[in-house]
Amino acid sequence: MDLQPSKILIVDDILHNRIALTKVLEPLNNVEVVEADSGNEALKKLLNNDFSVILLDVNMPGMDGYEVANLISSSQAHKHTPIVMLTAHDSSAPDVLRAYEAGAIDYLTKPIESTILLNKVKQFVKISQLQAKTNYLKSERESILEAAGQGVIKFTSEGDIEFINKKACQMLGSVADKIIGSQFNQWFSHMEIEPDYDNLFMFLRKKVHKLGLYQHQIAKLIDINKKTHLVELTCTSPRSQKNYSMIVLFQDISARLEMESELVHLANYDTLTQLANRACFHDNLARAINRSKRLESTVVLLLLDLDRFKQVNDTLGHDVGDELLQGVAKRLTSMLRETDLAARLGGDEFAILIEDSQSSLDAELLAKKVVSLISKPFLIQDKEICIETSIGLSRSVAGKSDKATLLKWADIALYEAKAVGRNCYQLFVPEMSVQAQKQALIQSQLRQIIEQNLLDVHYQGQFCLKENRFVGFEALVRWPKSNFGEIPISPAQFIPIAEQSHLIHELGYQVLHQACGVLQSWQLSTDTQHLTLAVNLSAKQLNAYDFLDRLEHVLCQFDFPLAKLTFELTETAFLEDSEHVQKCMKTLINMGFSLALDDFGTGYSSLNYLQNLPFDIIKIDRCFIQRLGFCHKTTALVKAIITIADAFDMSVVAEGVENQIQLDCIASLGCNKIQGFYFSKPIPKEEIASLISATNINNKKVLSK
């Protein structure tokens, strides 16, 4: 640390004296001597200098030494500057007294003894240098405290504010002079501290005394305008001090806490309805079950699924759908006690968690009320909208059933409620139908499979007899092998369940995504470039208002000629003759895709469809193929279908050809595109290349069959 030289002022009207004095002081280091030849001159020098000591001659013309000393010692800026009076050798005791009274700190009589003068001045210089050093350190410490950006306050052991930095003044909303001396507890109060202390200061003082440093205490700071801020305190005690004085650093964390709580809210609450989301609901359910184990109490779970919500969403648009969900959420919350929890699990599925319900009757009563409340019309955008809800109820007593079981039971009960006819509730009882249990289990497993993106897709070849090679494949979804049951469940079983629970939409996109990946990869090889790929579309998918948007969202991630992609639809897609479906189909055609009418011949199939709908391909259902050769009517019908298709320039694919007889039969009727186990079972995508090269080699063999 480099300190400025100490300045010494010599005031004497006689030049010779000033020179002599300066000479005496020469041995002093880092000292600058300033001279003044009169009182007036001395006062001038004091205007812009600070002196370590002033050597002041008493006898001077004009203003004498006493007068000068008086003026200096009564000035605010220099009252602490030491003055040493230089008196005449014959000074009397009253003279000395006068010197002291005028503010001198010491006196020397002339002729001056140089060693005494030198030593005296040395002491004063030393004191002033120490003072300068202290001031420097103090201002350095203060600038560090200001730069820290935190409020810093030092308190006496009684809790009086002794020091406060600028930042703290800002936060308290006042100035240091007014704050110093006030009490800690006037400004700060506790949020939550151990119950033994009702006074935050005493609490902190104890902690600091014990630990030395005490951090992360959240407290309320009430500023001068009575506004409350949340602050985080760090408290410590100056090490050298044995008393309980304390330094508190603090910062405003209101904004941080707000942000944190917003994040917590986002992670736990559904943004549309402000109800708890799925994750938060699961956490709460797990906690509730643990509690019920401890307290031997009851947990009741209600799973709700809105009936026909999708229809509202699709016909009236998702703005109305969103408002409807908000309306449902509001009604649900209005019925619950504070301790109950309502959640939106996703889409139009809701759940209610009730702890400590006295009997199953209570819960059933609530379920009944919910059903009737939801069925009352909602007024949305000036329209009256009616929906209904099905509810599945399950109960666990004393935590005896775990979370997964309770959810599964409620799922089964919900399934049963829907099967019974919707707009009602069902309480799970172990006797509930085995069928419902199985289906509910499939549904909940399928949900997990879809959530984890685990669906498999297999591909079944379509063989062209004319070209003597595979010309296309159909993508068929598969239940994944691991984790979800020993025996994989067939799509014939889980697709209808997916369709009932809206899982079909996500399922459809996942299959489409995988299929598009395969189509894209086929463009890289001449062996596969010619292949088309068919993807099944459920009627529900096509009916969804956002189908085309979501389709485009998938397509834009891939690159292949759109004409290579075929969508297979069954007639259920346009049974309702909806405008929306017609529009969608036209758009698909305009985009360049092919459309195939799947399972032709089952259900209501009428040749009318062929005339009025824009299909490029007809797929004759397996049940026809099975009867070929045995049933004349079937044979005649299939022949008619093939003739009409030819007339409309549609191609025909025969499904489910398993043997040579069926193949010969269908070939003789003029159908040359075959899909069936005879040529290929559905296979994973990795096996497609070897299937194609194997048929290239076996071409002749196939022809000779």
If contact means CB under 5 to 8 A according to the sort of partner, which of Ca ion, ligand C2E, none does residue 656 touch? Answer: ligand C2E
Q: Please pick, from the candidates 495, 533, 581, 588, the single residue that binds ligand C2E as defined by CB under 6 A.
A: 495
If contact means CB under 5 to 8 A according to the sort of partner, which of ligand C2E, Ca ion, none does residue 491 touch? Answer: ligand C2E
Kindly state the smallest distance separating residue 536's Cβ from Ca ion, in Å: 5
Q: Please pick, from the candidates 169, 353, 477, 617, the single residue that binds ligand C2E as defined by CB under 6 A.
A: 477
Answer yes or no whether residue 434 interacts with ligand C2E by CB under 6 A: no
Answer yes or no whether residue 536 interacts with ligand C2E by CB under 6 A: yes
- Tokens in use for 299? 């947990």
Q: How far apart are alpha carbons 256 and 176 in whole angstroms? A: 27
Pick between residue 357 and residue 675 the one whose CB is nearest to ligand C2E.
675
- Tokens in use for 452? 């984890």
Answer yes or no whether residue 313 interacts with ligand C2E by CB under 6 A: no
Pick between residue 307 and residue 568 the one whose CB is nearest to Ca ion.
568
Q: Are 304 and 351 in contact (CB under 8 A)?
A: yes
Q: Please pick, from the candidates 536, 543, 566, 635, the single residue that binds Ca ion as defined by CB under 5 A.
A: 536
Q: How far apart are alpha carbons 368 and 376 in whole angstroms? A: 13
Pick between residue 332 and residue 674 the one whose CB is nearest to ligand C2E.
674
SS (HEC) of 491-559: HHHHHHHHHHCCHHHHHHHHHHHHHHHHHHHHCCCCCCCCCEEEEECCHHHHHCCCHHHHHHHHHCCCC
Residue 500: name the closest of 308, 291, 282 by CA: 308
**120-127 contacts: CB < 8 A, separation 24 or more?**
120/84, 121/8, 121/25, 121/28, 121/53, 121/55, 121/84, 122/28, 124/52, 124/53, 124/82, 124/84, 125/6, 125/8, 125/28, 125/31, 125/52, 125/53, 127/52, 127/82
109 burial (CB, 10 Å; 0-12 / 13-18 / 19+) is: middle
If contact means CB under 5 to 8 A according to the sort of partner, which of Ca ion, ligand C2E, none does residue 658 touch? Answer: ligand C2E
Answer yes or no whether residue 687 interacts with ligand C2E by CB under 6 A: no
Answer yes or no whether residue 595 interacts with ligand C2E by CB under 6 A: no
Answer yes or no whether residue 128 interacts with ligand C2E by CB under 6 A: no
Kindly state the smallest distance separating residue 562's Cβ from ligand C2E, in Å: 19
Residue type, 27: P
Pick between residue 152 and residue 618 the one whose CB is nearest to Ca ion.
618
Answer yes or no whether residue 511 interacts with ligand C2E by CB under 6 A: yes
Answer yes or no whether residue 601 interacts with ligand C2E by CB under 6 A: no
Answer yes or no whether residue 472 interacts with ligand C2E by CB under 6 A: no
Q: How far apart are alpha carbons 392 and 411 in whole angstroms? A: 6
Size of the site for ligand C2E (CB under 6 A): 22
Contact region for ligand C2E (CB under 6 A) — 85-93, 212-220, 425-433, 673-681?
A: 673-681
If contact means CB under 5 to 8 A according to the sort of partner, which of ligand C2E, Ca ion, none does residue 399 touch? Answer: none
Pick between residue 317 and residue 603 the one whose CB is nearest to ligand C2E.
603
Kindly state the smallest distance separating residue 410's Cβ from ligand C2E, in Å: 27
Answer yes or no whether residue 538 interacts with ligand C2E by CB under 6 A: yes
Answer yes or no whether residue 462 interacts with Ca ion by CB under 5 A: no
Q: What track of x and - describes contact with ligand C2E for positions 361 through 390 (by CB under 6 A)?
A: ------------------------------
Residue type, 463: F
Answer yes or no whether residue 682 interacts with ligand C2E by CB under 6 A: yes
Contact region for ligand C2E (CB under 6 A) — 35-43, 78-86, 489-497, 634-642?
A: 489-497
Kindly state the smallest distance separating residue 398's Cβ from Ca ion, in Å: 50
Q: Which residues contact 521 (CB under 8 A, 6 or more apart)?
A: 528
Q: What track of x and - describes contact with ligand C2E for positions 639 through 658 (by CB under 6 A)?
A: -----------------xxx
Q: Please pick, from the candidates 108, 316, 476, 548, the single residue that binds ligand C2E as defined by CB under 6 A.
A: 476
Q: Are 247 and 255 in contact (CB under 8 A)?
A: no
Q: How far apart are alpha carbons 673 and 693 in whole angstroms? A: 19
Q: Which residues contact 625 (CB under 8 A, 6 or more apart)?
A: 654, 655, 656, 657, 658, 662, 666, 676
Residue type, 363: A
Q: What is the DSSP string of 25-90?
A: HTT-SSEEEEEESSHHHHHHHHHT---SEEEEES--SSS-HHHHHHHHHTSTTTTTS-EEEEE-TT
Q: Please pick, from the candidates 677, 694, 698, 699, the single residue that binds ligand C2E as defined by CB under 6 A.
A: 677
Q: Please pick, from the candidates 280, 445, 599, 671, the single residue that binds ligand C2E as defined by CB under 6 A.
A: 599
8 bridge partner residues: 33, 53
Kindly state the smallest distance separating residue 311's Cβ from ligand C2E, in Å: 19
Phi, psi for 461 (deg, rounded to 5):
-70, 150
Kindly state the smallest distance separating residue 429's Cβ from ligand C2E, in Å: 32
Q: Are 674 and 654 in contact (CB under 8 A)?
A: yes
Q: Please pick, from the candidates 217, 313, 401, 460, the single residue that binds ligand C2E as defined by CB under 6 A.
A: 460
If contact means CB under 5 to 8 A according to the sort of partner, which of Ca ion, ligand C2E, none does residue 340 touch? Answer: none
- Tokens in use for 677? 């186990």
Answer yes or no whether residue 510 interacts with ligand C2E by CB under 6 A: no
- To the nearest 10 degrees (0 to 180), the angle between helices 39-47 and 65-73 is 20
Question: 429 to each of 66, 269, 425, how far by Cα in Å?
Answer: 110, 31, 13
Answer yes or no whether residue 599 interacts with Ca ion by CB under 5 A: yes
If contact means CB under 5 to 8 A according to the sort of partner, which of Ca ion, ligand C2E, none does residue 490 touch? Answer: ligand C2E
The b-or-e profile of 322-338 (16+ CB within 10 A means b, else e) is ebbbbbbbebbeeeeee
Binding site for Ca ion (CB under 5 A): 536, 568, 598-599, 655
Note the residues at the interface with ligand C2E (CB under 6 A).
460, 476-477, 490-492, 495, 508, 511, 536, 538, 568, 598-599, 622, 656-658, 675-677, 682
